[in-house]
Amino acid sequence: MKTLPILFTGFFLIYCLTYFHCSLAQTSSTNKIKWPDDKQVAISLSFDDARPSQVDVGIPLLDKYDVQATFYLVPSAVERRLSKWRKATATGHEMGNHSVNHPCSGNFTWARHKAIESYSLSQMRKELVQASKEIETLLGVKPTEFAYPCGQTFVGRGEHTQSYVPLIAELFNTGRGWLNEAPNDPGFCDMAQLMGMPMDELDFSNVKDIIETARQNQQWIVFAGHDIGETGRQTTQVSMLEQLLRYAQDPSNGIWLAPVGTVATYIKEQRSN
């Protein structure tokens, strides 16, 4: 009968040690980062592919509110509206890299001839460096931010699959995903795998819900969109965007609205302090 209290004491000690170890692990991997000027939530607006509607419709609207966004560019698409993209660069919008050929899984029939299942890491590196060079030649700025085409982060297939996240970490300040379900925790997030939440086809009530949820944990929402217009597939609605800009610029809402690179650099500085 004497073994019972000893057993209990043993279990209790193991429980305490495990609990202490877990708490310690949590605190060491998560730093609480405060946003500047007592803001409660950070938002970055980003748009992919250098689609013409971004410079035709979106940038004039953003400029009206003096808000800078992040644009992930495919150089050949920039050439279709070169003077407008140059003007947008001069206005302070951030120009990121979205690859030369927009390679994605060959399950998309349009991507079969540039399927990431057939890519190697060295080819990916070569094309990413090429995209940055072409963007710098066209716009005079060297991209420091990247968005994964189709949000996919691998090359190859099966046993030969390799992540290209380490390559993005080496070449860029940040790498943004697509179709992710949550905002980023500034104390924890991996800059090479930022979560990108879709804003296409949403109305403002949906977007406001996302903002208010993120506010509770002082998170960073990186919204991602494609076309900018009235309606349609992969289109960020002008009416939603205008309501979002007004909401974010009302000081009583405590929102820090800034390009991806600006927020990422701020977080890195806070982490190193």
When the beta carbons of 96 and 186 are compared against Zn ion, the nearer one is 96
Quote the CA–CA distance of 98 and 58 in Å, as a whole number.
18
Tell me the closest approach of the beta carbon of residue 20 to Zn ion, in angstroms: 46
When the beta carbons of 149 and 183 are compared against Zn ion, the nearer one is 149
Tell me the closest approach of the beta carbon of residue 192 to Zn ion, in angstroms: 18
Q: Are 123 and 165 in contact (CB under 8 A)?
A: no
When the beta carbons of 149 and 259 are compared against Zn ion, the nearer one is 149
When the beta carbons of 224 and 240 are compared against Zn ion, the nearer one is 224
Provide the 3-class DSSP secondary structure of residue 201: coil
Contacts of 120 (CB under 8 A, 6+ apart): 155, 156
Residue 26's alpha-carbon distances to 5, 18, 31, 182, 192, in angstroms, are 32, 12, 9, 20, 21
Tell me the closest approach of the beta carbon of residue 70 to Zn ion, in angstroms: 13
User: What token pair was written down for 187?
Assistant: 């104390």
When the beta carbons of 39 and 102 are compared against Zn ion, the nearer one is 102
Quote the CA–CA distance of 99 and 116 in Å, as a whole number.
12
Tell me the closest approach of the beta carbon of residue 11 to Zn ion, in angstroms: 54
Sign of CA dihedral 185, 46, 60, 87: positive
Q: Which residue has the tokens 């697509």?
A: 178
Which residues of this protein are in contact with Zn ion, per CB under 5 A? Answer: 48-49, 149
When the beta carbons of 151 and 187 are compared against Zn ion, the nearer one is 151
Tell me the closest approach of the beta carbon of residue 149 to Zn ion, in angstroms: 5
Quote the CA–CA distance of 264 and 251 in Å, as a whole number.
22
Q: Which residue is nearest to Zn ion (CB)?
A: 48
CA-nearest of 251, 165, 257, 193 to 220 is 257
Tell me the closest approach of the beta carbon of residue 49 to Zn ion, in angstroms: 4
